[in-house]
Amino acid sequence: ANSVVDLGELLQYLARGHQAPEVLAARASQRIMRVRRNIQMAFAQMAGDESDVRRLFEKIDLDSSNRLSEYEFEGFVREDLKLSHWDVMSADLTEFYHFLDRDGDGIDIAEFLDYVKRVTKTKGELGAQTFAALPTVEPGALRRPKPRQTYK
């Protein structure tokens, strides 16, 4: 889909070789859920009401366009939320940005507020029990098929 290859993706390919599309889709879904959980936990630590969130949005919006670009959003996640590349890979963060940006023109204050409100509603639900809500993958779907032995 995107032309950038993340180092983690390259290493995974080198270690495992070509993967079936359903396995890749299951892993992508798991990554997105992990990114959402990491960002939700970081957002949940932020206390404040709507006016605090609006002030934060203005601080993040470096060019005062009333929309967060991918660059501004990544800076916020890395610097303010303190999520490293190990916590959230760049490709996963880009996917999450597009998840938040519903209309494709940058994250506006309404989209940002909506997400922060949803996170603060689920503040008590974050943690180990969150794993119970993760989508399940059919048993064996992530296993590599055993190589066939050939005899000469």
Per the CB < 8 A criterion, the answer to whether 72 and 107 are in contact is no
Q: What is the pLDDT of residue 139?
A: 47
Whether the predicted pLDDT of 60 surpasses 50: yes
- The Cβ of residue 91 has, within 10 Å, a number of other Cβ atoms equal to 19
52 or 75, which is more confident: 75
Calculate the alpha carbon distances from 114 to 3, 50, 54 in Å: 30, 10, 12
Greatest mean pLDDT range, 15-19, 27-31, 77-81: 77-81
Q: Which long-range contacts (CB under 8 A, 24 or more apart) does 121-130 make?
A: 122/40, 122/44, 123/44, 126/37, 126/40, 126/41, 126/44, 130/37
The residue whose two tokens read 């967060």 is 68
SS3 116: helix
Q: What is the pLDDT of residue 71?
A: 95
DSSP state of 113: H
Per the CB < 8 A criterion, the answer to whether 90 and 77 are in contact is no
Q: What is the pLDDT of residue 147?
A: 57
How far is CA 8 from its chain centroid? 15
Lowest mean pLDDT among 9-13, 82-86, 121-125: 121-125
SS3 14: helix
The residue whose two tokens read 């080198």 is 14
Q: What is the pLDDT of residue 146?
A: 53
CA angle 67, 70, 71 (to 5 degrees): 100
Whether the predicted pLDDT of 35 surpasses 80: no
Q: What is the pLDDT of residue 123?
A: 58
CA angle 34, 83, 1 (to 5 degrees): 55
> Mean pLDDT over all residues of the chain?
76
Q: pLDDT (tens digit, 9 = 90+) per residue, 85-140? A: 887 888 888 888 998 898 999 999 999 988 888 877 765 554 444 433 444 444 44
